[in-house]
Structure 1
Amino acid sequence: MVQIEQIFPSLTWRIRHEAMYPELPFDSVKLASDFDGIHFGLYLDHKLTGVVSLFYEGTVYQFRKLAILPGAQKIGLGSQLMTYILDFCKIQKATKLWCNARVNAKEFYFKFGFHETNKTFFKDGYDFVIMEKELS
């Protein structure tokens, strides 16, 4: 059973750390803007298994730190979380949703209609590309 609900920012940190940056110090996954965002947790059989954080300026939303625990990846949970935040953004009347995508994960975002921009960067050992999707 999968359930997605809004969660407190600090609940995202353990999942982010285990799924995205286990080699870095725990505090490296905390964002300065965490307490300004909207955070969602995906519970698989009542266990917090995935997270994503949303931030916005006006009608433009950015999602950050979409993370699924390593043992639960590749079974569609990330897709369920992505579908949920797309629906949430549409309800909020967002005009655009964007992210800093790891280059090795961009195929995942293509499935949801995101397109690559020409903005790329390197951080924490990973190559990133900014991807976006128009919503209106």
Structure 2
Amino acid sequence: MKIQIKEISYYDTWSIRHQVMWPDKNINYIKLTNDDEGKHFGLFVGKKLVSVISLFTKQRKTQFRKFATLSEEQGKGYGAQLLNYIFSIIEKSPVQVLWCNARKDKTSFYKTFGFIETDQKFHKGGIEYIIMKVNL
């Protein structure tokens, strides 16, 4: 199957965000008030959207949010391909820091991409998050 990564609309991210991140919540829970200000990307396997990520840039810092891969497609390297694609975009920009709010149980994944844990932590919906960043 052909793999393609391309920019998508923010509302095209909602289904995967909802299924993967907060399936027990109302779909409005995964919508961001500033979704329309971000850049959103999707990884397609054939014509099927399997992984999404949203980027929000302020000054020279970009935060990625709502990074999710369909459960049945996890472990196949799609998330890594999508994150590598984001790095290739960021490297061509004036952005100096890429950061995220990582679920604690996913920090080892981000460390493989050079992200480091900060001392900033918080809880949301019963899940612990750690802010991670990588300087570019």
Would you say same fold, with TM above 0.5? yes
Q: Secondary structure at the match of 1:84?
A: helix
Deviation digits for residues 18-58 of structure 1, max 9, x if unmatched?
A: 11111111110000010000000110121111100000111
Residue of structure 1 in register with 2:108 after alignment? 107
1:21 and 2:22 aligned: yes
Between Structure 1 and Structure 2, how many residues are aligned?
135
Aligned pairs for 1:17-96 (under 5 A) are 17-96=18-97
Q: Which runs of 5 or more structure 1 residues have no equivalent in the other structure? A: none
Deviation readout 1:1-27 (Å, 9 max, x if unpaired): 210000011000001001111111111
Q: Which amino acid in the other structure matches residue 46 of structure 2?
A: D
- Which segment drifts farther, 100-109 or 82-91? 82-91
Structure 1-normalised TM-score? 0.97
Q: Could you give the per-residue CA deviations for residues 41-76 of structure 1, whole angstroms, max 9, x where no partner exists?
A: 110121111100000111110000110001100110
SS of alignment partner, residue 76 of structure 2: coil
- What TM-score do the two structures reach when normalised by structure 2? 0.97
Percentage of matched positions with identical amino acids:
41
Distance 2:45 2:125 in 1: 29
Q: Distance in 2 between matches of 1:45 and 1:37?
A: 25
The Cα shift of 1:93 comes to: 2.3
Letter in 2 for 1:7: I
